[in-house]
Copies of this chain bind each other. A is one copy, B any other.
């Protein structure tokens, strides 16, 4: 390809050069980047030639990784060498705090995620984007994804452009859903398709499911027919099922062949997909018959037949099994991979441990974030408005429960007016109940998630938790009563608060067991809504017991 910058009239180029110069002079890196992104590589090359060396380096920093190679092709070799030298001089000054002064070009790598993040943020602030490209080249795609997620939206776009095209797909795969969707939405289709080709089918399926339907269709259409059909059949399974987790890179063999033959076949392939600890044995119709561990193949004599080494008692995973159940099985049986079959027992694909690890991580993130009503907030730097809207729902739900509690207090306005000490002490009763209840609730939610609660032992758990509520209720009732008596010099109030706390802690224990069990029966995820319902109960019981008793006794 040769430089071919004719189409534009000279004065137009001149204007763009002037604008670019001005932007660089005023440190408007982002605007310069946008301008460069729209220009033809050949034009950028000719433009670079007209700049002064410092301007050139500054402009070069703003050119994304995709355009970079194209621009380089248009540059004279002298200019290319010059640019490389200038950049090296820049990176030599990269880490002023570095104590390894011997070899400036090879500054020590930052191993800690925080240090890497600091490097990226610094480079963004100085507009030295090529430093990011340099760092990214040395990092694992997953780590790059982690760094991108730590950046606010505009900076994220700039850093994203510094990833080499062949690696964008791999980085995309490691991003969280929300961030991935947002970045994919900004990419042009050509680039997206290019990236998509580098993804494993299961990750590509995930990506397509996250994108707007039209974009997903366009990506599918860009694939070749065989691949497209594969993807279509995978897209027919829900994302959180075995079918949605599986890949189709399994190696299937027949039972009657010899290990020697199998080894010859494997040698033809040159390499096996990662996590191939098992091959799968199928019959002529593709029916799953058993597994053959690769370690068996390694240790077997060539004349042995597959049928002698295969294990027929390895249960395949049904394609419609929930991904939770798949994860549990991988975990319990220490699996690295497992075959997936359809309802007729035909081998469809396989699930590998790396995807299961992602499921486990997501489950735990879901459990933790869900408790704060943040279930869908996987992008730490989501736009303020989007985040506000999502969180407002949770606050609104909480407001209802808060008003319920307020209504209970309102019932006793008369009492409060006469004994104002009650208003001072009442939050203590509610708060202790809330804490004790949430302890029980957390325990039960975990037990449910692990399938450790069934009809027979919930009664025992209820008794145990009520026992704990009783013991801790007695202990803290006495402590709070003593403190209240010292504070207000009123023995009756001490007695009332003691009884109220005891009652509330026992109720909290019962509610902590009953609420998640009930929710589960109603098909509601207790990890999401359990704590709101629980605090409603402990607030109401706490206020009612305390103020009600006070009304009965004090008035």
A residues near B (Cβ < 8 Å) are 112-115, 117-118, 121-122, 125, 140, 142-143, 146-147, 149-152, 174, 263, 266-267, 269-272, 274-277, 294-301, 330-334, 336, 353-354, 356-358, 360-361, 363-365, 367-369, 371-374, 377, 380-381, 384-385, 387-388, 391-392, 394-396, 398-399, 401-403, 405-406, 409-410, 413, 416-417, 420-421, 423-428, 430-432, 435-436, 438-439, 441-443, 446-447, 450-457, 460-461, 464, 467-468, 471-472, 475-476, 479-480, 483, 487, 539
A504 nearest CB across to chain B (Å): 12
Query: A271 touches which one: B269, B299, B354, B428 (CB < 8 A)?
Result: B299
For this chain, the copies found in one complex come to 2
| Known A142-B331, A150-B453, A377-B443; contact A267-B384, beta-carbon cutoff 8 A | no
| Known A151-B457, A391-B439, A428-B399; contact A416-B405, beta-carbon cutoff 8 A | no
> Is there contact, CB below 8 Å, between B331 and A456?
no
A314 nearest CB across to chain B (Å): 12
> Is there contact, CB below 8 Å, between B435 and A395?
yes
> Is there contact, CB below 8 Å, between A468 and B405?
no
Query: A364 touches which one: B368, B402, B539 (CB < 8 A)?
Result: B368
> Is there contact, CB below 8 Å, between A468 and B387?
yes
In chain B, what residue has the closest Cβ to A270?
B299
> Is there contact, CB below 8 Å, between A456 and B272?
no
Task: Among A142, A143, A380, find the residue whose CB has the most chain B CB atoms closer than 10 A.
Answer: A380
> Is there contact, CB below 8 Å, between A332 and B143?
yes
**Shortest 7 CB-CB distances between A and B: which pairs?**
A364-B364, A113-B451, A121-B456, A142-B332, A334-B354, A150-B452, A423-B423
Residues from chain B with Cβ under 8 Å of A365 in the complex:
364, 446
A89 nearest CB across to chain B (Å): 24
Residues from chain B with Cβ under 8 Å of A472 in the complex:
388, 391-392, 395
Cross-chain pairs A/B with CB under 8 angstroms, 13 sampled: A149-B450, A267-B298, A271-B299, A274-B295, A353-B357, A363-B364, A367-B368, A372-B438, A372-B441, A387-B468, A395-B472, A405-B431, A427-B539
Query: A140 touches which one: B275, B276, B332, B450 (CB < 8 A)?
Result: B332
Residues from chain B with Cβ under 8 Å of A457 in the complex:
117, 121, 150-152, 381
> Is there contact, CB below 8 Å, between B467 and A384?
yes
Query: A391 touches which one: B267, B410, B436 (CB < 8 A)?
Result: B436
A111 nearest CB across to chain B (Å): 9
Residues from chain B with Cβ under 8 Å of A272 in the complex:
295, 298-299
Q: Cα distance A347–B459 when bound, in Å?
A: 52
Residues from chain B with Cβ under 8 Å of A263 in the complex:
298
Residues from chain B with Cβ under 8 Å of A114 in the complex:
451, 453-454
Residues from chain B with Cβ under 8 Å of A455 in the complex:
118, 121
> Is there contact, CB below 8 Å, between A442 and B297?
no
Residues from chain B with Cβ under 8 Å of A367 in the complex:
364, 368
| Known A388-B472, A451-B117; contact A274-B334, beta-carbon cutoff 8 A | yes
Residues from chain B with Cβ under 8 Å of A296 in the complex:
271
Residues from chain B with Cβ under 8 Å of A442 in the complex:
368-369, 371-372, 374
> Is there contact, CB below 8 Å, between B275 and A439?
no
Residues from chain B with Cβ under 8 Å of A353 in the complex:
336, 353, 357
> Is there contact, CB below 8 Å, between A483 and B395?
no
Residues from chain B with Cβ under 8 Å of A360 in the complex:
357, 360-361, 364
Q: Cα distance A441–B450 when bound, in Å?
A: 26
Task: Among A274, A406, A480, find the residue whose CB has the most chain B CB atoms closer than 10 A.
Answer: A406
Residues from chain B with Cβ under 8 Å of A435 in the complex:
373, 394-395, 398
